[in-house]
Amino acid sequence: MTPALATLTRHPIWRRTKRTLRRYREVILIVLTLAMSLGFLFFGYVVALMLESQHPHWFGSGY
């Protein structure tokens, strides 16, 4: 067994992943929050466009 493989088997991948996740948890949470906020804004914009095409008088443009 090569030293690299021995190191890989001694430190399981999930332990290293967990350590990395713990280090970057705040960054990941901030990025996820921003992405979700942008997604909701985009979704609301699309819904507003669809509503405006169906009911223009609701938005004060036309009758």
pTM of the model: 0.56
Q: What are the Cα distances from residue 52, in Å, to 2, 27, 28, 40? A: 66, 37, 36, 18
Higher pLDDT residue, 26 or 6?
Answer: 26
Indicate the SS3 state at residue 42.
Answer: helix
Q: Please say if the pLDDT value at position 43 is more than 90.
A: yes
Q: What is the pLDDT of residue 16?
A: 78
Q: What is the pLDDT of residue 9?
A: 65
Q: How many helices (H) and strands (E) does the chain have?
A: 3, 0
pLDDT in tens, 3-14: 666 666 677 777
- Give the domain ranges of the chain: 3-58
Calculate Rg over the CA atoms of the chain. 24
